[in-house]
Amino acid sequence: MDFDALISGLDRHTLDGITRGSIYALVALGYTMVYGVMKLINFAHSEVFMVGTWTVLGVYTVIGATAGMGLGTVIAATLLALLAAMLASAGTALAVERIAYRPLRKKGAPPLIFLITGIGCSMVLVETFGQVLRAIFGPPFGRVTVNIPSVLETRTVFTIPGLDLAVSNTRILIIVGAVVMMVALDTFVNKSRLGRGVRAVAQDPDTASLMGVNQERVIMLVFVLGGAMAGVAALLYTVQYDITKFDIGFIIGLKAFTAAVLGGIGNLRGALVGGLFLGIVEVYASAVWDSSWTNVYAFVVLVVILMFRPTGLLGESLGKARA
């Protein structure tokens, strides 16, 4: 145990934790919205994120973006990659819904079956990027870690005086980007007409359909929104870590789902709280003990929180949100 390491680097660790937590939170939105509306864990959501990271790589490769371009080009390339990742991830999420969930919903299958088809879809997606695309296109696909060009070079923007904490442009982008997306989504769900439909279906699907809410359309909307958020998360992840891999989604998805449960699954603001909380706890615990145990800390925190607050920190509330 090394509390000194934690205390001496508290500011740095906090910043690390918030960065990591923002990405968890964005991915967690996909889980939490689908859970809120359909009461099921979309197990393929982690792979929706994975597709997003590969799309970013694809866009950068196609337009030939590398480090050291002019500011205007960097912004254009990043925005293009962002848009492409959002579209690809949303499309993947929608496809998963179509293939794996819709036929089962028509048959009224028990929840366990949705989980299995979700796992099946997740495996197919993983293997597509690990094996199938390699057979067709060759490398960079395959079971190795692939580098993504760091188009946005990390630069220290300002130093917080007194703390001696250097804040880089990438971190600002990640944290601000994540928070802006989350606020936008929260506003959309709470204020817009479509968002009201989402809340109505989450609260009571039968009554909502009597009131003229098209349930199928709401479900599609939820998958598209969740997928798009995973796409944003994918871009931010590549900005911070510069890599992707065929199974990159697994651990991120696991953490994001943990974050969603921590905050209270089905609760949009809970995803933010849970994500940031998990990110910070992980970084702190890794500083105090050993970073090879990071995943263990995450799950232990989850179990402890659930023991005392069985519905997460903020409780379930997508359906109960006041209009």
Using the rule CB under 8 A, is 313 a contact of other proteins? no
116 binds other proteins (CB under 8 A): yes
Burial pattern 203-242, b for ≥16 Cβ within 10 A else e, equals bebeebeeeebebeebbbbbbbbbbbbbbbbbbbbbbbeb
Nearer to other proteins, 190 or 294 (CB): 294
35 binds other proteins (CB under 8 A): yes
- Separation between Cα atoms, residue 212 and residue 183, nearest integer Å: 28
Minimum distance of other proteins from residue 126's CB (angstroms): 7
What residues have CB less than 8 Å from 106, skipping those under 6 apart? none
Strands in the chain per DSSP E: 146-147, 156-160, 165-168, 243-244
112 binds other proteins (CB under 8 A): yes
Exactly one of 107, 155, 193, 322 binds other proteins (CB under 8 A); which one?
107
Nearest CA-CA partner of 61 in 149, 122, 131, 178:
149
CB of 100 to other proteins, least distance (A): 6
CB of 43 to other proteins, least distance (A): 9
- Tell me if residue 157 falls in helix, strand or coil: strand
Binding region for other proteins (CB under 8 A) out of 19-27, 230-238, 280-288, 296-304: 296-304
Binding mask 59-88 for other proteins (x = CB under 8 A): ------------------------------
Residues 6+ apart with CB under 8 A from 208: 197, 200, 201, 215, 218
Q: Which of 67, 160, 163, 306 is close enough to bind other proteins by CB under 8 A?
A: 306
Helix 10-38 with 45-63: angle, nearest 10 deg: 120
Which span sits near other proteins by CB under 8 A: 50-58, 153-161, 170-178, 300-308? 300-308
Residue 128 near other proteins by CB under 8 A: yes
Distance of CA 290 to the CA centre of its chain: 25
Task: Please report, in angstroms and rounded to a whole number, the separation of the first and last CA atoms in the chain.
Answer: 48
CB of 304 to other proteins, least distance (A): 9
298 forms part of the interface with other proteins (CB under 8 A): yes
Our finding on whether 1 is near other proteins (CB under 8 A) is no
Which CB, 84 or 271, lies closer to other proteins? 271
Token pair of 20 as six digits: 């990591």
Compute the least distance from the CB of residue 3 to other proteins, in Å: 20
Binding of other proteins at residue 310 (CB under 8 A)?
yes
Return d(Cα 143, Cα 187) in angstroms, integer: 40
In the window 140-199, what residues touch other proteins (CB under 8 A)?
A: none
Sign of torsion over alpha carbons 216, 218, 221, 226: negative
**Total number of residues that touch other proteins (CB under 8 A):** 53
Piece in contact with other proteins (CB under 8 A), picked from 1-9, 65-73, 87-95, 252-260: 252-260
Amino acid at 106: K
Residue 222 phi/psi, 5° resolution?
-65, -40
Q: What is the dihedral of CA 265, 267, 273, 276, to 10 degrees?
A: 60
Residue (of 273, 240, 280) closest to 259 by Cα position: 273
For other proteins, the closer of residues 143 and 191 by Cβ is: 143
Binding mask 259-278 for other proteins (x = CB under 8 A): --x---x-------------
Q: Which residues bind other proteins (CB under 8 A)?
A: 35, 39-41, 99-100, 103-113, 115-117, 119-124, 126-128, 131-132, 206, 209, 215, 250, 254, 257-258, 261, 265, 290, 292-293, 295-296, 298-300, 302-303, 306-307, 310
